[in-house]
Structure 1
C-alpha cells in the first residue's frame, strides 16, 4: 500500500513531521521495506525510514536523535 506522504505508524509519522519542521528533507521513496529517507542537505547525512519496524517507538526515537545531531546543519 502506497501512502500519500504519511507513514502508517503514528509514532514515526510524528517524528517525520518533527524532522520536516527542523528543516530536514523527507523523501518518500518506497522500495522493499523502506518507506523513504530523511536527508540533511548541508552535510548530506541520510537516515532510512522503514515501513514495517518491529517497535515503531524505537525507530521514532532514532529519527529524533538524527534530527538532534543535524540541528546545527539545517
Structure 2
C-alpha cells in the first residue's frame, strides 16, 4: 500500500513535471520523452523546488542535445 502522502497532489507552486507520458529509457537510463535520468525521475516527488528547477533544466538540455544529434549526418 502506498503512503498517504503519495496520494496527495503536489503544491501548485512547484515547477510542473517535465513528464510527457512518453516513457522509454535509452541505454544511459535517460527518458526519451522528458529527458530526465531515471534517478531524477525517482527523486522528483521528494525534490525541493530548486532541485526540480535544476532537474528540468538538465532534462531540457538533454532533449535539445538529442534533437541536434538526431539531425547530424552519419560519418
Per the normalisation by structure 2, the TM-score is 0.39
Between structures 1 and 2, the one with greater helix share: 2
- The structure in which a higher percent of residues are strand is 1
Higher relative contact order by CA 8 Å / sep ≥ 6: 1 or 2?
1
